[in-house]
């Protein structure tokens, strides 16, 4: 056995795929119940979908939604911390953060299994597309791409639109992440679904599986589900291993707690067989900091 030096490091992760209503507290209560259910089923790390406390409000530009933002620490983050401590699991929650007057972020907060805040990630790439008017609400993140040490491994977080950028995944992996979580809110325009739906979903999943391969990490993406306004969120939450293989995948229609067993020891094996980090030409990549090469 050529890799008998590699130790098995089993971790069970859970992705919460759920629908959301306009009222905040029922969504928070549902998420807390799902965390408890996931822990009872053996999960060590539980990740909620993007902006789980309410509907995906970025379908329009409406100042009233700023009233739903919270500081971190704040009421919802404190409840997530308490759930992490109570159930002995790592919890990742995506929140609308009120950092200061007039300064808001799309932020993921990570709580270790003892309830301690292990880290904060602020979404770096902010879209502005039809029904995804996030630039109206969110300031781009200023904390960079990070990883966070937890009881069950070193975790990296990116959020939704970040998932299309190989630079984000690479820098998060270079920061030491063993699992990159992508809390997500993405769906179909019903009028376009028949013609473009399969292609759109396939591109989304393929992109993140490619990040797993290129960086030798596990990738996990919890997405919301259900119809909200003009969007039909496509669910399809999944976990990929470092070879890009799907090891768990949720359906497109229903709420689910998706469980996946991950052996973090596999990362060393895969990176030794496919030594992409070893062969990177770091001396030749300076132009990546330019907008375009003409």
Domain chopping of the chain, boundaries: 10-289
Q: Residue 103: which pLDDT band, with cuts at 50, 70 and 90?
A: very high
Length of the chain: 294
Find the Cα–Cα–Cα–Cα dihedral 91, 24, 53, 30, rounded to 10°: 50
Mean pLDDT, to the nearest integer, of 11-20?
A: 98
Instruction: Give, to the nearest 10 degrees, the angle between helix 24-40 and helix 75-87.
Output: 10
- Per DSSP, 126 falls in state -
**Helices and strands (H, E) in the chain, number of each type:** 5, 17
| Fold of the 10-289 domain | Nitrilase/N-carbamoyl-D-aminoacid amidohydrolase (3.60.110)
Residue 113 near residue 119 (C-beta atoms within 8 A): no
Question: Is residue 59 pLDDT above 90, yes or no?
Answer: yes
Structure tokens that stand for 189 in this block: 């325009």
- Does the annotation mark 20 as catalytic? no
User: Of the listed 20, 30, 47, 50, which one is catalytic?
Assistant: 50
Report the DSSP beta bridge partners of residue 16: 48, 257
User: Of the listed 30, 47, 123, 256, which one is catalytic?
Assistant: 123
Q: Residue 1: which pLDDT band, with cuts at 50, 70 and 90?
A: very low
User: Of the listed 20, 58, 158, 160, which one is catalytic?
Assistant: 160
Helix (H) or strand (E) holding 107: strand 103-111
Mean pLDDT, to the nearest integer, of 36-42?
A: 98
In whole angstroms, what is the distance from residue 101 CA to residue 203 CA? 37
Spacing of C-alpha 204 from chain mean position: 13
pLDDT of res. 130: 92
Report the DSSP beta bridge partners of residue 46: 14, 91
Question: Is residue 2 pLDDT above 70, yes or no?
Answer: no
Calculate the average pLDDT of the chain: 96
pLDDT digits (tens, 9 = 90+) for 190-209: 899 999 999 999 999 999 99
Question: Is residue 239 pLDDT above 90, yes or no?
Answer: yes
Q: Whole-prediction pTM value?
A: 0.96
Question: Is residue 232 pLDDT above 80, yes or no?
Answer: yes
- Residue 117: count of CB within 10 angstroms of its CB: 17
- Per DSSP, 23 falls in state S
pLDDT digits (tens, 9 = 90+) for 130-144: 999 999 999 999 999
In whole angstroms, what is the distance from residue 84 CA to residue 143 CA? 23
Residue 83 near residue 91 (C-beta atoms within 8 A): yes
- Residue 260: count of CB within 10 angstroms of its CB: 23
pLDDT of res. 7: 83
- Does the annotation mark 160 as catalytic? yes
Mean pLDDT, to the nearest integer, of 228-253?
A: 97
- Does the annotation mark 261 as catalytic? no
In whole angstroms, what is the distance from residue 155 CA to residue 164 CA? 19
- Give exposure, 37-56, as e/b (b: 16+ Cβ within 10 Å): ebbeeebbbbbbbbbbbbbb
């Amino acid at each position: 056995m050529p890799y008998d030096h590699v130790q098995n490091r089993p971790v069970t992760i859970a992705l919460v795929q759920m629908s959301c209503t306009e009222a905040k507290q029922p969504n928070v209560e549902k998420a807390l119940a799902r965390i408890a259910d996931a822990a009872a089923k053996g999960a060590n790390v539980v990740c909620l979908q993007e902006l789980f406390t309410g509907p995906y409000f970025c379908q329009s530009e409406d100042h009233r939604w700023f009233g739903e933002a919270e500081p971190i620490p704040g009421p919802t983050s404190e409840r997530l911390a308490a759930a992490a401590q109570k159930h002995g699991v790592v919890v990742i929650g995506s929140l609308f953060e009120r950092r200061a007057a007039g300064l808001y972020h799309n932020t993921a907060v990570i709580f270790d299994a003892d309830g301690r805040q292990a880290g904060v990630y602020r979404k770096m790439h902010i879209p502005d597309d039809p029904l995804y008017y996030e630039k109206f609400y969110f300031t781009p993140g200023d904390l960079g791409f990070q990883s966070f040490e937890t009881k069950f491994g070193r975790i990296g977080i990116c959020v939704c639109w970040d998932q299309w950028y190989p630079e984000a995944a690479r820098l998060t992996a270079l920061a030491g992440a063993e699992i990159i979580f992508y809390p997500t809110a993405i769906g179909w325009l019903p009028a376009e679904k028949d013609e473009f739906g399969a292609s759109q979903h396939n591109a989304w999943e393929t992109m993140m599986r490619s990040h797993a391969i290129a960086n030798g990490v596990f990738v996990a993406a919890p997405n919301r589900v259900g119809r909200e306004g003009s969007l039909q969120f496509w669910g399809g939450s999944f976990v990929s291993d470092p070879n890009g293989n799907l090891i768990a995948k949720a359906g497109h229609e229903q709420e689910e707690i998706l469980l996946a067993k991950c052996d973090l020891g596999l990362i060393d094996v895969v990176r030794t067989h496919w030594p992409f980090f070893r062969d990177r030409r770091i001396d030749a990549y300076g132009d990546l900091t330019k907008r375009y090469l003409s």
